[in-house]
């Protein structure tokens, strides 16, 4: 083995590089003395020990005369900026002509201070840095998958002590204490026609991220601990997981516009896991399998739809499917069930307009946050997706999800304060500008992919989910590190929606004969301003907890329409103001468990005796606990109120004019506990309105309402029970006296058990407002006390 000791290399590049180190290079190598030369033996192989430090003003890539500049490039020590990083490389060539490389890298940082586009002076994407120590091996053999002209690679490496960060304007978010193990054997590289083809039959590995940290102090760059206080920087939590993949990638020269390149990829996920850690509690996605196929992804340095310089990523299509075998949350690792997603992203027409899939990456972010940031000019078309949820062996499918949109997304790492009139908060800020988007769901299917479409998505309205929604949106969501205590997330957000159309209930948009306009109950001419301050998200021992510090919003519905969203008859205008403090939502694994449907009783015998049906819905499922604390009014913008307006005047364009009709106003709605129980002189307000929802997929009793044939021609008598039968033409039949075997084949439904309760709900005053006479108070003070309402609903298809 030849051993070359004490070799030091430092490269400083003073001029821009264009791909291949164009510019002046200055290298210094220390001369080997006699002692070093005495270490060289006659054995095979070479060991090279280096202290590597390298810096470059700029690395450049050009495409059709448009350029991307990677500025302030540096390689050196991570813990001692300005110094070099230690490298040990051993090279051997075997008798079989295989090149073996073993390497050890210690305490290295690779960093770009900024990324800029040639056509956008003065703004940049921001900086990226990678700290790591790495040990591994690479074996290169002649001959690929198609003959001797290619190559075969075996590689394995371990990264320890890693950090991967993104930095804008002195603020940064980074993955800290990263460990990564990867093994990939039998990778082949070939030129097939005009395509460079990389085939990886198996890539396995694991990763662990100790924490995801945030810092607003430029002096903390790349440090785990704050340089002033010595305390650990706040953490969003940690990550860990495993993966076993197979992948084939093709790279072809030529972008969508002249130069550039094309990427095609097919990947199979043989197995994987993804786990989020929050102070010892986990949100775990286990037993992940799936696949995806990426077709015709093009990369160009170009301009977006507004002529702004950008790195353009334009997609032909992307389709695939993922399955999560167990979704666990909380300290006990209890599963809510299994989730499956299938999807197809490709060009499609919605509401008469064609949408494609493209992202144009630009520098700058929000203009008031500073010169560094990320702006993504986006357009998307999710032509079709199905989301299914399986618990205790029963499956419900949210079928026919479509989504489309266009607009700008900005990304900045910001600090708390006001700049140029814009309020910023600590954390990773995601902004939305001139976003025009929408989505719709065709309906639910219970049991199988070919089960009939049915309603039931309306049961999710309590969570703010609409079956169909179209809107224009601006706003921001800022994710800060740290939850209610310790790790977690804190969210501050401002969302502004206008020209919205949301369905409270909606018929399918495609019943098998092509897409049609949906009919339903619509909130139209909708505007919505929502603000959230200091909302914390934590994985707790119990589940996933979200607690709002303060939240206020105004939803103004120009028309509540029935039928067509454009021309349907209107109930008038509705406006809802909300002001909440300390409201919360907790998602807990496990559904309703044992339920007495249609009766009462704590046991199967008692339930049956009361005329009910005892349902043991299993261990899986989801329970959602909502607590809404409606606070007393503190201003006209922060209060709870409800307005209904009719008989509005019509302007010259045929639109109704708000505040010109007759209004019914319920003002200053608030909850309370009914007294001052803590003795602070203020009426307590901690209970609020509490709603518990338990969601399961379970069999239910369905009886025929009339004699004769139903809509599918299946006959039966009034009171007969519907029993599923795959041998029957319609998949079911009616039975007058079902046997025990028949009862095992009752139809599956989307089952929701709900309970709502409050101690006291008050309305300060109810006013009638006439357009000419002004407001008149009809009722002074309304109090409702000690409500407790229970419901058990199961949605099944109606033939």
Given a contact cutoff of 8 angstroms between Cβ atoms, the answer to whether 529 and 551 are in contact is no
User: Which of these, 327, 245, 322, lies nearest to 286 by C-alpha position?
Assistant: 327
526: left (phi over 0), alpha (psi -120 to 50) or beta: beta
What pLDDT score was predicted for residue 772?
Answer: 87
- Bridge partners (DSSP) of residue 69 are 60, 116
User: Of 413, 541, 528, nearest to 479 (Cα)?
Assistant: 413
**Nearby residues of 568 by Cβ (< 8 Å), 6 or more positions away:** 519, 522, 561, 562
- Take residue 87 and report the two structure tokens written for it: 């490298």
Q: Decide the pairing of beta strands 622-628 and 689-699.
A: antiparallel
Provide the token pair at 201. Answer: 């039959």
Q: What is the CA radius of gyration of the chain?
A: 31
Backbone angles phi, psi at 517, to 5 degrees: -70, 135
- What the block records as the tokens of 476 is 């921001």
Task: State the CB neighbour count (10 A cutoff) for residue 715.
Answer: 12
The pLDDT, as a whole number, for residue 34 is 57
Q: Can you say how many angstroms the Cα of residue 118 is from the centroid of all Cα atoms in its chain?
A: 32
pLDDT (0 to 100) of residue 472: 98
Tokens matching residue 35: 């002692």
How far is Cα 166 from Cα 173, in angstroms, rounded to an integer?
Answer: 6
**The tokens of 385 are what?**
């997706």
Residues with Cβ < 8 Å from 126, sequence gap 6 or more?
114, 115, 166, 167, 168, 169, 363, 365, 372, 373, 374, 413
Whole-Å CA distances, 539 to 483, 586, 622: 9, 10, 15
Element (H, E) at 436: strand 427-440
DSSP string, 773-788: TEEEEEEEEEEEEEEE
Instruction: Enumerate residues 6+ apart whose C-beta is below 8 A from 649.
Output: 656, 657, 660, 661, 771
Where in 146-280 does DSSP place strands (E)?
A: 151-168, 171-192, 195-215, 238-253, 261-278
User: Cβ(495)–Cβ(472) under 8 Å?
Assistant: no
The closest alpha carbon to 284, from 214, 237, 320, 319, belongs to 237
For residue 309, what are its two tokens?
Answer: 């310089």
Q: What pLDDT does residue 601 have?
A: 87
Pairing of strands 2-13, 46-63: parallel
Tokens representing 331 are: 């300290």
In the block, residue with structure tokens 């998949």: 731
Quick one: pLDDT at residue 456? 73
pTM of the model: 0.91
141 touches 150 (CB < 8 A): no
Integer Cα distance of 793 and 787 in angstroms: 19
What is the Cα–Cα distance from 396 to 159, expressed in whole angstroms? Answer: 42
Q: Is 606 helix (H, G, I), strand (E, B) or coil?
A: helix
Cβ atoms of 403 and 382 within 8 Å: the answer is: yes
CA–CA dist 76, 107 (Å, integer): 8
Residue 10 is predicted with a pLDDT of 34
Residue burial 671-710, b: 16+ Cβ < 10 Å; e: rest:
bbbbeeeeeeeeeebebbbbbbbbbbbbbbbbebeeeeeb
Q: How many CA atoms lie within 13 A of 229 on its CB side?
A: 9
DSSP at 527: E
Q: Tell me, what's the pLDDT at 447?
A: 84
DSSP 205-243: EEEEEEEEEEE--GGGTT-SB-TTT-PBPPB--EEEEEE
Looking up tokens 């929802």 gives: 693
Between CA 309 and CA 213 the distance in angstroms is 31
Scanning the structure block, which residue is given the tokens 């989910």? 465
pLDDT at 5: 40
Locate 784 and state its tokens.
């409702």
pLDDT < 70 regions, the chain: 1-44, 798-799
C-beta of residue 229 within 8 angstroms of C-beta of residue 258: no
Q: Which residues contact 219 (CB under 8 A, 6 or more apart)?
A: 227, 228
Instruction: Give 775's strand partners.
Output: 769
């Amino acid at each position: 083995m030849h051993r070359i000791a004490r070799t030091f290399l430092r490269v400083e590049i003073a001029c821009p590089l264009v791909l291949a180190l164009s510019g002046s290079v200055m290298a210094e190598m220390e001369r080997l003395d006699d002692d070093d030369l005495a270490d060289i033996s006659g054995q095979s192989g070479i060991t090279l020990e280096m202290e590597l430090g390298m810096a470059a003003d700029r690395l450049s890539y050009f495409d059709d005369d448009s350029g991307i500049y990677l500025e302030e490039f540096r390689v050196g020590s991570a813990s001692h900026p300005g110094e070099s990083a230690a490298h040990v490389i051993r090279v051997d060539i075997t008798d079989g002509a295989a090149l073996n490389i073993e390497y050890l890298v210690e305490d290295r940082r690779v960093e770009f201070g900024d990324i800029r586009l040639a056509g956008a002076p003065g703004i940049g994407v921001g900086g990226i840095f990678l700290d790591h120590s790495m040990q591994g091996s690479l074996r290169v053999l002649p001959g690929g998958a198609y003959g001797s002209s290619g190559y075969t690679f075996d590689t394995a490496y371990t990264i320890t002590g890693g950090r991967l960060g993104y930095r804008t304007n002195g603020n940064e978010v980074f993955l800290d204490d990263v460990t990564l193990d990867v093994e990939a054997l039998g990778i082949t590289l070939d030129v097939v026609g005009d395509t460079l083809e990389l085939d990886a039959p198996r890539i396995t590995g694991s990763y662990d991220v100790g924490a995801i940290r945030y810092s607003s102090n430029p002096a903390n760059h790349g440090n785990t601990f704050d340089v002033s206080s010595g305390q650990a920087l706040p953490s969003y939590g940690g990550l860990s997981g495993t993966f076993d993949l197979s992948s084939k990638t093709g790279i072809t020269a030529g972008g969508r516009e002249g130069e550039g390149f094309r990427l095609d990829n097919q990947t199979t996920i043989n197995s994987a896991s993804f786990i989020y850690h929050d102070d010892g509690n986990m949100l775990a996605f286990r037993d992940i399998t799936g696949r995806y196929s990426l077709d015709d992804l093009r990369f160009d340095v170009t301009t977006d739809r507004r002529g702004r310089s950008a790195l353009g990523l334009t997609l032909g299509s992307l389709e695939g499917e993922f399955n999560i075998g167990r979704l666990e949350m909380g300290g006990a690792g209890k599963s809510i069930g299994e989730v499956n997603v299938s999807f197809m992203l490709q060009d499609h027409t919605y509401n008469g307009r064609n949408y494609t899939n493209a992202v144009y990456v630009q520098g700058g972010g929000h203009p008031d946050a500073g010169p560094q940031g990320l702006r993504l000019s986006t357009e998307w078309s999710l032509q079709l997706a199905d989301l299914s949820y399986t618990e205790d062996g029963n499956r419900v499918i949210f079928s026919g999800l479509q989504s489309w949109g266009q607009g700008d997304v900005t990304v900045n790492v910001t600090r708390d304060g006001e700049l140029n009139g814009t309020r910023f908060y600590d954390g990773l800020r995601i902004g939305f500008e001139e976003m025009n988007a929408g989505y719709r769901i065709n309906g639910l299917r219970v049991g199988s992919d070919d089960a009939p479409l049915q309603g039931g998505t309306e049961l999710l309205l309590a969570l703010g989910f609409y079956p169909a929604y179209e809107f224009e949106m601006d706003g921001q969501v800022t994710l800060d590190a740290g939850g209610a205590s310790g790790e977690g997330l804190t969210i501050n957000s401002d969302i502004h929606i206008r020209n919205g159309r949301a369905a409270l209930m909606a018929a399918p948009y495609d019943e098998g004969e092509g897409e049609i306009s949906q009919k339903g109950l619509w909130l139209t001419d909708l505007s919505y301003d929502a603000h959230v301050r200091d909302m914390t998200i934590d994985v707790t021992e119990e589940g996933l907890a979200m607690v709002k510090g303060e939240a206020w919003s105004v939803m103004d519905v120009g028309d509540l329409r029935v039928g067509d969203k454009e021309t349907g008859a209107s109930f008038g205008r509705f406006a809802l103001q909300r002001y909440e403090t300390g409201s919360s939502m907790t998602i807990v694994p496990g559904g309703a468990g044992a339920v007495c449907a249609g009766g009462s009783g704590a046991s199967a015998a008692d339930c049956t005796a009361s005329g009910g049906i005892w349902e043991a819905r299993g261990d899986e499922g989801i329970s959602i606990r909502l607590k809404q604390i409606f606070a007393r009014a503190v201003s006209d913008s922060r209060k709870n109120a409800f307005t209904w307006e009719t008989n509005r005047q019509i302007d010259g364009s045929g639109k109704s004019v708000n505040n010109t009709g007759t209004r019914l106003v319920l003002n200053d709605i608030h909850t309370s506990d009914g007294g001052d129980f803590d003795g602070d002189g203020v009426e307590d307000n901690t209970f609020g309105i509490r709603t518990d929802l338990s969601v399961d997929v379970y069999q239910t009793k369905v009886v025929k309402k009339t004699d004769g044939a139903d809509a599918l021609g299946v006959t039966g008598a009034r009171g007969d029970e519907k029993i599923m039968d795959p041998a029957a033409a319609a998949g079911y039949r009616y039975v007058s006296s079902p046997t025990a075997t028949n009862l095992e084949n009752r139809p599956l439904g989307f089952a929701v058990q709900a309970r709502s309760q409050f101690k006291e709900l008050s309305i300060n005053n109810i006013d009638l407002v006439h357009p000419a006479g002004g407001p008149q108070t009809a009722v002074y003070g309304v109090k409702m006390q000690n409500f407790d309402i229970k419901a058990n609903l199961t949605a099944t298809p109606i033939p």
